A and B are shown apart, each in its own frame.
Chain A
Amino acid sequence: MKHYISSSILNHSLLIPTVMVFLSPGTINDFMRSIGKIWVVVAALLIIFIGIVVFLFLLEKRISKLENDLDNE
């Protein structure tokens, strides 16, 4: 058990700096500009997808509200 904990701590201690390096603005910019800036297009498509999904969730909330109104009639 102890072994597992220490190894997970070790993993995290390695993971956090790696994540931080990856998430630094310079790395993100380099990543977005790689392969002819194709990731910019991917990001745009993702934004549209997420936007529509959020819209659908809000719509569903309205439907639930309507269902509640009908049930409480």
Chain B
Amino acid sequence: MNWLLKNWYKWLSILLLLYVIAFGMLVPLRPGIMKTDTFRLDLGTEAEIHIQFYNTHLRKSDDHRIWIRVDNDHAIKAKSFAVLNDVELKAVFELPSELPIDERVAMASLLADNSVDGPMVLPAAFSLVGENAGPGEISLWLENPVSDLNMRWTYAYPWRNILEETIRNTYYHVPMWFGMMLLFLISAIYSIRLIRSDNQDYDSRVFSLNLVGTLYGLLGILTGAIWARYTWGAYWSGDIKQDMAAITLLIFLAYFLLRSAMDPGPKRSRVTAIYTLFAFAASIPLLYIIPRMQPSLHPGSGGNPGFGGDDLDNTMKTVFYPAVIGWTLFGYWLSNIVFRLNRLGRKTEEKIFT
């Protein structure tokens, strides 16, 4: 019992990570619209559109409603449709000859709704092009407004168009960065304690926490690169947060260089602890201030919605926060092993060489 209590954070991290991996991988995505076969729609024609869905059960329901929506008030409802299978559908729209807004070209989204799958949307799905488009006969656009959607809560992760299933990486890639920063924070605290007391055990703490923090940072970069490859298009997208994260890693890699360039002893532990504090302070503007000044593909900076708004809904929070705590505790466990080994090595050397 005592043993169980003493190792509480290890059990907790294992339980949390099991929960995170199981729920993170098994909870389904909400149904969504994947793609259509047409992008350009000419006004005044009849358009037959082949729509591909994801995670839907189209054959289970017969109350499908499909709209092409220009803005909140103006939409065209599909005249007829044919369900091909559970995830495919053909819809026929009769397009009015004029746009409801004073433009020659308008972006429109595709909206679908049924009682089994709920409402689904594909933003910026079409570009509507008209010969003599302009303000005019808009009653056709108002006839069948988007209404009575089958909104309801389901235990599922949100559907995002380019992300698709990779939204689950929020539980594996993002906590690497949170874990890294938390480990570096603990390491900074131990650095302060070291420069105040010169206790050599704190040096082993700082070293081990920096080591595991750097490992987390490397894993964060690698997982981020593969995520970026299949969502943004390239392993390295020149994104400001990617660049700043790489620089943060360089700063902490320099810690190990500094450490290896000095002889072991109280002087080294003091100097490297001071550098750790300096590096930690320098990484704050790199990770939190500068990325906010420039547009980024990451959420939470530039023109993007903040992390926690649309990108992290309440369902995802139930897994994301445990993931951050679990990965951090696991990292602390790893660092604890490194700490004990490092401490043992120092004691052994003292015993052998003196």
Residues of A near any B CB (own CB < 8 A)? 29, 32-33, 35-38, 40-41, 43-45, 47-48, 51-52, 55, 59, 62-63, 66, 69-70, 73
Cβ contacts under 8 Å, B222 to chain A: 47, 51
Residue of B with least CB distance to A42: B25
**Knowing A44-B172, A45-B21, A48-B223 touch, does A38 contact B352 (C-beta < 8 A)?**
no
Residue of A with least CB distance to B172: A44
**Knowing A36-B29, A36-B54, A37-B230 touch, does A44 contact B223 (C-beta < 8 A)?**
yes
Residue of A with least CB distance to B163: A37
Which of A40, A48, A52, A62 sits near B165, CB closer than 8 Å?
A40
Say how far A46's CB is from chain B's closest CB, in angstroms.
Answer: 9
Say how far B105's CB is from chain A's closest CB, in angstroms.
Answer: 30
Residue pair B223, A47 in contact (C-beta under 8 Å): yes
Cβ contacts under 8 Å, B25 to chain A: 41
Which of A33, A36, A66, A70 sits near B341, CB closer than 8 Å?
A66
Which of B165, B168, B352 sits near A73, CB closer than 8 Å?
B352
Cβ contacts under 8 Å, A51 to chain B: 215, 218-219, 222
Cβ contacts under 8 Å, B348 to chain A: 66, 69-70
Starting from the known contacts A36-B165, A40-B227, A47-B226, 4 additional A-B residue pairs (CB-CB under 8 Å) come to: A38-B168, A40-B169, A59-B337, A62-B341
Residue pair B341, A59 in contact (C-beta under 8 Å): yes
Cβ contacts under 8 Å, B165 to chain A: 35-38, 40-41
Which of A29, A43, A62 sits near B345, CB closer than 8 Å?
A62
Does residue B176 face the partner (Cβ distance < 8 Å to A)? Answer: yes
A-B contact pairs, 6 of them (CB 8 A): A41-B165, A48-B219, A55-B215, A62-B341, A66-B341, A69-B345
Bound Cα distance from A55 to B173, whole angstroms: 18
Q: Which chain B residues numbered 284 to 315 have a C-beta less than 8 Å away from chain A?
A: none
Please report the total number of B residues contacting A with Cβ < 8 Å. Answer: 34
Bound Cα distance from A6 to B218, whole angstroms: 47
Cβ contacts under 8 Å, B172 to chain A: 41, 44-45, 48
Cβ contacts under 8 Å, A29 to chain B: 230
Say how far B210's CB is from chain A's closest CB, in angstroms.
Answer: 14
Cβ contacts under 8 Å, B274 to chain A: none
Residue pair B345, A66 in contact (C-beta under 8 Å): yes
Cβ contacts under 8 Å, A43 to chain B: 226
Residue of B with least CB distance to A73: B352
Q: Which chain B residues numbered 321 to 354 have a C-beta less than 8 Å away from chain A?
A: 334, 337-338, 341, 344-345, 348-349, 351-352
Bound Cα distance from A63 to B25, whole angstroms: 35
Cβ contacts under 8 Å, B352 to chain A: 69, 73
Does residue B86 face the partner (Cβ distance < 8 Å to A)? Answer: no
Contact string against A for B residues 31-56, beta-carbon threshold 8 Å, 1 for contact and 0 otherwise: 00000000000000000000000110
Cβ contacts under 8 Å, B21 to chain A: 45
Residue pair B169, A44 in contact (C-beta under 8 Å): yes
A-B complex: 8 closest residue pairs judged by Cβ atoms: A36-B165, A44-B223, A36-B164, A38-B165, A51-B219, A41-B168, A40-B166, A37-B164
